[in-house]
Amino acid sequence: DPNPGADPGADPDPGADPNPGADPDPGPGADPDPGPGADPGSCSGNSVERKIYIPLNRTAPCVRLLNATHQIGCQSSLSGDTGVIHVVENATDLDWALSTGPHPPYMILLDGKLFSREILMRLKGNPRISGLAVAAVSPAPSGGFSPGLKCPNDGFGVYSQDYGPQFSHCNGSAWNPAGSGLSYEDFPFPIFLLEDANETQVIKECYRAHNVPREGSAPQFPLCAMQLLAHMHAAASTVTCMRRSSLQSTFSINPEIVCDPLLDYNVWSSLHPINSSGKVDPGQQLILAATRLDSHSFFWNVAPGAEASVGSFVALLAAAEALQAAPGSRRLPRNVLFAFFQGETFDYIGSSRMVFDMEQEKFPLRLENIGAFLELGQVSLRQDSVLWMHTDPVSRQNRSVDSQVRDLLAALVNSSSGSGVSVREPGFSQPLPPSSFQRFLRSRRLPGVVLSDHRAAFQNK
Ligand SMILES: *[C@@H]1O[C@H](CO)[C@@H](O)[C@H](O)[C@H]1NC(C)=O
Ligand SMILES: *[C@@H]1O[C@H](CO)[C@@H](O)[C@H](O)[C@H]1NC(C)=O
Ligand SMILES: *[C@@H]1O[C@H](CO)[C@@H](O)[C@H](O)[C@H]1NC(C)=O
Ligand SMILES: *[C@@H]1O[C@H](CO)[C@@H](O)[C@H](O)[C@H]1NC(C)=O
Ligand SMILES: *[C@@H]1O[C@H](CO)[C@@H](O)[C@H](O)[C@H]1NC(C)=O
């Protein structure tokens, strides 16, 4: 980064001023002997490092993400942030780090049960905190946990001032009541998940040996400290970051990557072949069967939320395989396009790209060719083997759309009889849950149904 000083993440960084290396003992290790840390100049840096540091091997960072206007997520300063370890096993343990302890900045080792919005917001505003390591909880908390929004994809679906304003901002239907919104906050310090309970134990032992206040008085140096390093060059907003990236690649011999686009590929395939270099005849109608491929998580590459999307994309893959193997499928009057969308959590980037390509004639189909849309939402946690058929009350005000939707509902009811799964409608005036179908509806009033295991709020907590 040619201009780290302009990095907003670097300024409020408490780790930068009280340089922990200047302490009598940097002591991040379990080594009780202050000797080697006090005089690092006299011997080889590597062997000192090996004596005083214990590397953590199973961790996952929270990373920084940008959109057009904001930054969210976490980062450390360039060389990592350091602080005296303080273990927090219940909320009252926080006071020591937040106000009374004499050795700030503190690195908090937080019990996973306390990883909540309330506690993180208290830490976020306090300059005495230099970072956070969260011990994974197992089994998962029974009340559920979601760092997403109560109203996922708010503002990027179909409902707005101009289209069903009574339904915009999830009015009257909170789909994700457990959502804390933590994934959308901007934290000025690094946050890591500790995935291995044994490693958490190593840190706790060092804390107990050196850092616990004895008989009310503060512990003396040497203290046990921890350094967390997850520097992110990206800052401020996508616009800023892309400008810096292009400066780097223009003027530097070894350009440093400042930020990466969120990038992946939608996957699609059809029952009957489609000539991908031609155009499907405008009169030909097919069925688009769609689902999403991924989920978002607070910690990099640790994705408990995948549970919500895996059930549906495995089901759609199975349907595609079964259908092409079924006798008579060649003679079906309508072709079926199976589509798997990427990155839907982030403003529906997968489905909105396909809609864009269809509108720009960069796809073998046009929106007009979609005779019916069938989407699998979250389908794996059925209660009493019920699937709910969600439809859009606004487009159904049009008689012709409504009659096509009714045909679709009738076909689903018909085909579910005897299958052990019953399908039901949630009620005519309920809007669609967050779904890729909403992005298609923004461009054209297509008849469509979203199947899910939840009638209103998500079952999957
Ligand atoms: C960017 O993200 C922030 C935080 O989630 C949000 O408040 C803002 O509206 C988003 N900006 C755009 C253009 O979507
Ligand atoms: C943690 O330590 C225990 C006892 O030493 C050991 O049995 C277990 O396999 C370790 N777990 C991991 C994930 O390394
Ligand atoms: C991580 O692995 C290294 C090398 O195997 C080991 O020395 C160290 O103790 C491990 N860290 C923890 C916290 O167990
Ligand atoms: C596919 O479409 C292109 C352009 O219309 C045409 O030239 C080509 O012959 C078609 N291929 C097949 C196999 O129909
Ligand atoms: C209903 O939608 C069809 C196209 O789907 C359109 O041709 C027709 O004009 C619409 N009817 C009304 C009353 O808006």
Answer yes or no: are the C-beta atoms of 422 and 455 closer than 8 Å.
Answer: no
Q: How far is CA 326 from the centre of its chain?
A: 38
pLDDT value, residue 46 = 62
User: Which residue owns the Cα nearest ligand 1 atom 11?
Assistant: 69
| Adjacent-strand bridge partners of 117 | none
pLDDT value, residue 296 = 86
Give per-residue burial for 305-324: e unless 16+ CB within 10 Å, then b.
beebbebbbeebeebbeeee
The verdict on the CB of residue 275 being under 6 Å from ligand 4 is: yes
pLDDT value, residue 8 = 33
Answer yes or no: are the C-beta atoms of 276 and 364 closer than 8 Å.
Answer: yes
pLDDT value, residue 14 = 32
Residues in the chain, overall count:
461
Mutate to test the pocket of ligand 5, among 396, 398, 405 (most ligand atoms within 8 A of CB): 398
pLDDT value, residue 241 = 83
Give per-residue burial for 239-259: e unless 16+ CB within 10 Å, then b.
ebbeebbeebeeeeeeeeebb
Phi and psi, residue 286, nearest 5°: -130, 175
Q: How far apart are CA 190 and CA 187, in angstroms?
A: 8
Answer yes or no: are the C-beta atoms of 365 and 286 closer than 8 Å.
Answer: yes
Positions in the chain whose pLDDT score sits under 70: 1-47, 249, 251-257, 428
Q: How far apart are CA 157 and CA 177, in angstroms?
A: 18
Q: What is the pTM of this model?
A: 0.85
CA of 155 to the centre of ligand 1 (A): 10
pLDDT value, residue 147 = 94
The verdict on the CB of residue 277 being under 6 Å from ligand 2 is: no
Helices (H), 62-196: 94-95, 117-124
Q: What is the pLDDT of residues 132-191, one digit of tens each?
A: 999 998 888 888 899 999 999 999 999 999 999 999 999 878 899 999 999 999 999 999
Vertex 102 angle, CA 229 and 91, to 5° = 75
CA of 280 to the centre of ligand 4 (A): 11
DSSP letters along 17-75, please? SS-GGGSS----SS----HHHH-GGGS-HHHHHHHH-----SEEE---EE-SS-EEB--
CA of 393 to the centre of ligand 3 (A): 57
Ligand 5 pocket at CB < 6 A? 398, 400-401, 445
The verdict on the CB of residue 198 being under 6 Å from ligand 2 is: yes
**Neighbour order of strands in the sheet with 59-61:** 59-61, 191-194, 129-135, 106-110, 81-88, 225-228
The verdict on the CB of residue 239 being under 6 Å from ligand 1 is: no
User: Which residue owns the Cα nearest ligand 5 atom 10?
Assistant: 398
Say which residue the tokens 């134990």 belong to: 201
The verdict on the CB of residue 56 being under 6 Å from ligand 3 is: yes
